[in-house]
Structure 1
Amino acid sequence: MPQPYSWLPFFLVVLVGTATLAEVTGWRLILFPPLIVIAFEMFAHADVCPWAKKPIRLPVACTLSVLIGGALVTTFGDAPLAVIASTACGILILRLFDLHVPPALAVGLLPFIIPAVDYRFAASVGIGTLTLTMLFLVWGRLRRVRLSPS
């Protein structure tokens, strides 16, 4: 039987690791707010979290969502129709990748509220979600090894 909080050290490594990467690189948004929600759900509710079953798709979907949001805000500003288009594109991305990750929609809206959108923001989201995915896969492998009969 797995320990109920065996995921907590890995969750903390994601938080501290991405915060450290953000500090070292100066790219503060490597640890962006929806990443914390995404990580908590993946680790704390791994057996029922819909995107925990397809973790490799997560960084791609989130990065595409932020790229589209960034392109829309750069092209049209923070107009309501641009926000609606970003949300619609985010929904389309999630459908195409067969993911149910509502926080990924928020990722696509972040370019509308940060002061300056450039390539570093999309790269930051990619780095943050890729870091989360790699640590989640490591934790999942260790978890399976512990659960398997010896």
Structure 2
Amino acid sequence: MKANREVYRTALGYLKLAELAEEMAVEVNSFRFAYNSNLAFSIELFIKSIMSLSEDRIVFEIGSAQITKKFASSSLRGHGLGSLFKQLPKDRQYELSTLFFNHQCNVACESLELILSGIESSFVDNRYVYEKGGMVSANESDLLLWTARFFREVLSVD
């Protein structure tokens, strides 16, 4: 499935950082909330990359010489993972759900919609963990990791 290059690369960066942290750490528990935030945000951006557009904008101009950069924006809003998924066109939801059903990254053997609904507020919950007295589910780390890896594998940029 096609994804916007700029948004996909940003999502990939958050996933790679989480994977690197996991490889380097003796125990993820010491930075679990930051780890989960990165994974949840990568999933959010992977989903948003499906409905994003890029345009060249002039960032610097002298006479007839111009420097342009690609700027991306998504029509999807919010941080809720299940909610973002439901904002995708039905054909894209169906395609992703079908790909996920028997995919090796479906470690919970559940539907993609159910997984995303279960980790709906992971980014906000983990980012603002101090507001919840540290009482946020720790059991979602593997689900976040494998869901992010699924999106990395099935989305493509050309």
Larger CA Rg, structure 1 vs 2: 2
| Higher-helix-fraction structure | 1
User: Is TM (by shorter chain) over 0.5?
Assistant: no
Q: Normalization by structure 2: what TM-score?
A: 0.30
TM-score, length of structure 1 as denominator length: 0.31
Identify the structure with the greater strand proportion: 2
